[in-house]
Structure 1
Amino acid sequence: MKVLFAEYLTWGTPYRVGSHYYAQHLLDRGWEVGWLGGEFHLWNLIGNRAELARKLPLWRAGGVQHPHGPWEYVPFKSIPYRNAPGLRSPWLAWHGNRLTLPSIRRQLALQGYDHADLLWLSNPQAYPWLVETGDYPRVVYRAADNHVLTAGIPDSIDAVERHIASRADAVLAVHPDTYERLSPYAPERTLLLPNGVDLLRFRAAAPCPSEYGQITDPIAVYVGSVNYRFDVPLLQQAALRRPGVQFVVIGDAGIDVSGLQGLPNVHLLGPRPPKQVVGYLTHATAGLIPFRWLPATRNLRSIKIYEYAAAGLPTVHATMDPETAADMPVISATGGTDAFVAALDRALGWDAEQRDQARAFAASNSWEDRYARVDALLSQWGLA
């Protein structure tokens, strides 16, 4: 069996998202897997340089076959589909294959991925044309984010997503609001399938990171991209108000973080490989999601919640309502700095029983559970 994943991130990014896990699962089952990372363009020269550094070699090589992994390629697109004057037309999304250098369709054909048993689409901004022009008998659309609320993406993405949903054989919605938005266009074909956690990564004892040997407990950690969603002033004020707490940030800084630099209890470590992240979590005291209050971040059920929980950590979530947080090991911290610091204090006071409850939550939300539901779909389609 053969599948093409059409994604935003590269295979080797330090930020593993749901599709990385699903792709690895299919690899483990013996599938041939192709992986398209998000296109790059001239805007990357100004913006996400770290991601550009991962994409450029893949484009130059015309694709790379990873040992025991997928074949991977990233196209260069001359005119991107973005929320900027002259770039908002959905034509740029539906005909994006015509704007790539060299032709992405030719690159796919050279590797036999212009057709496959399954198309797994997560990037409606770059690859909706695959639904219309490719030879893929079955299509899964994994709606991992509410794209219409995401910075940099035009409002017209809503219509693009609706059309993809209407054509897909299954829509896998990660968040309830996305399920409600797309299910009318894929009735009886839309599933609510949240993120999960790789429990095996957390079952083995992980060594304490060397950086932790230089600081004292308690440690509040954030793992993920430091981008427009990350609230630098919020974390700065929290660090100033709680000088006895060590704040560790793991991830590429794509925004100005000068407000955090120089604070003795803030440690900007940069990205770490996924295998090392476990140690940074299991030897910490609390997990953080210090996001700005934006439509795209409200009640965000980030994969971080599940991974923090697997390490026995509470999540201090700056943009999750108390009602939503009640069913998860999450402490709502909406309402600004005072609320965030108060939530942090509660998190640092968690006892062993509460941490065990967090681990139990993670155990009930494993990727293995998600795989079983996807495997059932594939079996229905004769792709077992």
Structure 2
Amino acid sequence: MSKKVLMAVANYYTSPFQVGSHHYARAFEKLGYEVLFISNPISPIHKIFANSSELKERERIYKKGGESAGGIFYYVPHSLFTPQNKPFLSSNFVLNNWQNFTCPNLLNFIKKQGFGEVDILWFDSPLFGFLLDTITYKKSILRIADYSKGFGAVSDAQFNAEINIANKVDAVIYTAKNLKEKYDQIKDKSKMKYVPNGIDLDFFKAADRSLPQELEDIPEPRVIYVGAIHDWFDVDLV
């Protein structure tokens, strides 16, 4: 019987932002794990604030009932309302109960996929703390990639939920050394392990190293930023 990991994460699997948990999911697959990749839920309210191409992709995944990519099965839950840093939606009630308003019921969906019992229960989103009490697991891990209070979209309730998860899981891994100091609310520091972001050397070895034409007229040295330009991007510093 193959080993199983249930990953409860923020970003949907086909997101243009392929971050740490996406790579960990593929790493688990290479190690022979079956992976169920559940990302943050959507709701009808999302269309009011941002009816974007990203939302349409998440809706597509939901309506298909999830999709497979090799040994990884990914899914986007749909609820009547979801936690957001907005009036009412930032409340503890929404944070603690959104899963009860999913269609189909998220817990039933997870168990139907065969992930009611797993070897590893993995978190990088504070929205899924209820899984610690409803899923049978051998080990639980929270991955902290950033200081979540630095994001405007993260409510106080979500930050407190992240701390609650951190204090319950077996291990907390974090990507930057200063995060251990910032998360002083985590009681047992001995279970916190520094695991910096990795690099896929094979990807860069096989990459085309020729200079793109649009950069030819820019003199050296060149500094190139690849990533999102959002409220966390320090334009003045650059």
Q: Please indicate, yes or no, whether the TM-score normalized by the shorter chain is above 0.5.
A: yes
**Structure 2 counterpart of 1:91, which letter?**
F
Structure 1 unaligned runs (5+)? 230-290, 293-317, 319-335, 341-384
Aligned-partner residue type, residue 133 of structure 2: E
Amino acid at match of 2:217: D
Counterpart Cα distance in 1 of 2:71 and 2:142: 22
8 Å contact 2:80–2:98 — kept in the other structure?
no
Corresponding residue for residue 203 of structure 1: 205
Map of 2:225 onto structure 1: 222
**2:100 equivalent in structure 1:** 98
Letter in 2 for 1:222: Y
How do 1:139-150 residues align onto structure 2 when only pairs under 5 Å count? 139-150=140-151
TM superposition score normalised by structure 2: 0.87
Letter in 1 for 2:120: L
Deviation at 1:110, TM superposition (A): 1.3
The alignment-based identity, stated in percent, is 27
5+ residue gaps in structure 2? none
> Residue 93 of structure 1: SS of its match in structure 2?
helix
Superposed displacement of residue 43, structure 1:
4.1
**In the alignment, what sits opposite 1:12?**
14
The answer for the alignment partner of 2:86 in structure 1 is 84
Structure-1 residue corresponding to 2:178: 177
Q: Secondary structure at the match of 1:140?
A: strand
Q: Which has the higher contact order (CA 8 A, sep 6+)?
A: 2
Deviation at residue 71 of structure 1 after TM alignment: 0.7
Count of residue correspondences: 231
5 Å matches for 1:19-168?
A: 19-45=21-47, 46-47=49-50, 49-66=52-69, 68-124=70-126, 126-168=127-169
- SS at structure 1 position matched to 2:224: strand
Which has the higher mean CA deviation after the structures are superposed, 51-60 or 35-44?
35-44
Amino acid at match of 1:153: V
Larger radius of gyration: 1
Q: Quick check: 2:62–2:78 contact (8 Å CA) kept in 1?
A: yes
Deviation of 1:76 after TM superposition, in Å, equals: 0.9
- 3-state secondary structure, aligned to 2:190: coil
Q: For 1:244-259, list aligned pairs within 5 A.
A: none
Which residue is 1:193 aligned to? Answer: 195
Distance 1:41 1:225, change over 3 A: farther
Encode CA deviations 1:191-210: one digit per residue, 9 max, x unaligned: 1212121111112241647x
Query: Partner amino acid for 1:165?
Result: A
User: 1:193, 1:133 → 2: CA distance?
Assistant: 28
Distance change in 2, residues 1:150/1:205 (3 Å) = closer
Higher helix share: 1
Indicate how the Cα distance of structure 1 residues 148 and 205 shifts in structure 2: closer, same or farther if over 3 A, else same.
closer
- For 1:282, the equivalent position in structure 2 comes to none
Mapped partners of 1:79, 1:94: distance in 2 = 11
